[in-house]
Structure formats: structure tokens, C-alpha cells
Amino acid sequence: MKNLFLFLAIFASVLVTSCSSDDDNTNSNPSKAIVELKESMPNISYTFTWSAATDADGDTVTYDFYVNDQKVDSDNASTEFVLLFSEIEGLSYPFTIKVEAKDGNEGTSTSNELTIQDPIISNWNFFSSAEVVDGVVGTLEEGTPCEKTGFVDFKADGTYITRSYIEDRNNECIFDNETNGTWENLGNNVYRFKFDTTTNEIPVSIEGNTLTITGREDSSVYVK
């Protein structure tokens, strides 16, 4: 009987030790990466970077990159990804991105999520304009201080408003005109603008804080 008790005691000890050993080998998830936008070329490419995730177990960490919850890059060992618009079918604004860190042992963590809005969404002040003749843009002429108070405001709901100002005979800056309409990004740097019964599909260039809208008769530059 004593031998039986001794056997059970030893067995229980081994079992506890085994369980403790298993607990010690529990895999830890890598830390969360913090993703941010590094550089953008609207409608063309976006470069994202993120902080390197750390793993308490010393496992090698790789990353999966998601656009609108769809994996577009996997097992990336670097902390940077260049998103090309042309390589993701049907991509349009707004879209979301996030990064998942993986340690190769089923341990994962998900970064913060970024939402990228259409770059045209903002309030842009008029700066300069030029005539367009036979598709050729002439010399840009900077607006007067009064004209520069004019603006175009593109809103996230797909509407826009423009206001222009001119100087009267007494050189006083007065309100000239207002337009309300809708806008739509057609891709390839072309936008559709509608106001009243008029619809125009116009090339748009956005570089940093400069917006250029080139129509058939004139080209206007706005800044923010």
C-alpha cells in the first residue's frame, strides 16, 4: 500500500512538473505595430511604414498588409509597403489599411487602422489661372489678393462649393459668384464635376498642397 501511495505521489509530481513546463512554453503574441502614412502620390501610390513589432520569445516577426480587410501582401520582413493603385482591382477612396504582425508560431497582433480619404477633400484657395488654347495651357497668372480669397471646398459627401471675388470700380473686394455641385473620382486623375445641368470630366493634379484643375478653356491652381 505504501508503495502505491509513493507511486501516486511521484506521478502527481511529474504531472505538475509537466504542466508547469507546458505553461512555461506558452507562445507570446508579438507587440502591435504602429502604422503611418510616409508618402503619397494621390491616385498613384502610397508608402506606409510601421514600427517594428517585438516578440518576447525571440521569434522572427513578419507582416501581412491589408487593404479594406483584404490581404495584399504577406510574410513581409520589412517595415514598409508601397501601395500601387493600379495593382489593386477596384480600389477607390476611402479605403482602410492595417498591418498584422506574425511570429510564425500562430502568435499574431493587429496594428492601428488608417483610413485614407480622397486627396481632393479639403478647402482650397484660388492662387492662379491660365487660358487653355487647343489643349495647350498658357502662362499662369497669379491672382490678386482679392481673387485669392476665392476658394473651392470639396466635401467628403461628394459635394462641393466654389466662391469667387473681384474688385469693383472702387477697388473694393466684393463677392462675385457661387457654384454648388457634386464631384466624383473616376480614377486615373480624372474627376467628374456636376453643377446645374452641366457635367464635365476634367483632369486633376494634386501634388502636396497644390491642386490644379485643367478644363477646356482654362486651368486653375489652388493651394491650401
User: CA 119: distance to chain centroid?
Assistant: 9
101 φ, ψ to 5°?
A: -90, 135
29 lies in some domain: no
CATH number at residue 111: 2.60.40.10
Mean pLDDT of the chain: 90
pLDDT per 10-residue tile (average), the chain, 224 residues: 49 48 75 96 93 94 97 96 92 96 94 96 97 92 97 97 96 96 93 94 93 94 96
Q: Can you say whether residue 211 is alpha, beta or left, with left for phi > 0 and alpha for psi between -120 and 50 degrees? A: beta
Q: Between the CA atoms of 68, 70, 72 and 76, what dihedral angle is there, to the nearest 10 degrees?
A: 100
Tell whether 215 and 176 lie within a shared domain: yes
Domain boundary among 66, 89, 116: 116
* 126 falls within a domain: yes
Mark whether 142 and 203 lie in a shared domain: yes
Contact 180, 160 (CB under 8 A): yes
Q: Is residue 12 part of a domain?
A: no
pLDDT in tens, 140-188: 999 999 999 999 999 999 999 999 999 999 999 999 999 999 999 998 8
Structural domain contains residue 1: no
* Spatial separation of the C-alpha atoms in residues 193 and 213, rounded to whole Å: 11
The dihedral formed by the CA atoms of 179, 184, 189 and 195, expressed in degrees to the nearest 10: -30
Looking at 116, 132, 161, the residue that finishes a domain is: 116
Q: In 3D, which of 216, 212, 37, 201 has the Cα closest to residue 120?
A: 212
CA distance 15 to 79: 43
Q: Look at the chain and report how many structural domains it folds into.
A: 2
Contact yes or no for 193/182 (Cβ under 8 A): yes
* Cell of residue 143, nine digits: 491672382
The residues facing 69 across adjacent strands are none
Report the number of secondary-structure helices (H) and strands (E) in the chain.
1, 18
Domain's final residue, options 79, 97, 116: 116
Residue 198: in which H helix or E strand, if any? Answer: strand 198-207
Q: Are 126 and 197 within one domain?
A: yes
Is the same domain home to 98 and 163? no
pTM of the model: 0.76
Q: Is residue 24 part of a domain?
A: no
Q: What is the pLDDT of residues 140-149, one digit of tens each?
A: 999 999 999 9
In a domain, 45, yes or no: yes
Assess if residue 3 is contained within a domain: no
Domain match, 59 and 131 both:
no
Half-sphere exposure of 209 (CA within 13 A, CB side): 5
Residue-level pLDDT at 187: 85
- Report if residue 190 sits inside a domain: yes
For residue 118, which of 223, 35, 219, 191 has the smallest C-alpha distance? 191
Q: Are 222 and 151 in contact (CB under 8 A)?
A: yes
197 lies in which domain range? 122-223
Cα-Cα-Cα-Cα dihedral sign, residues 4, 8, 9, 14 = positive
pLDDT digits (tens, 9 = 90+) for 10-21: 445 544 444 544
Farthest CA pair distance, the chain: 117
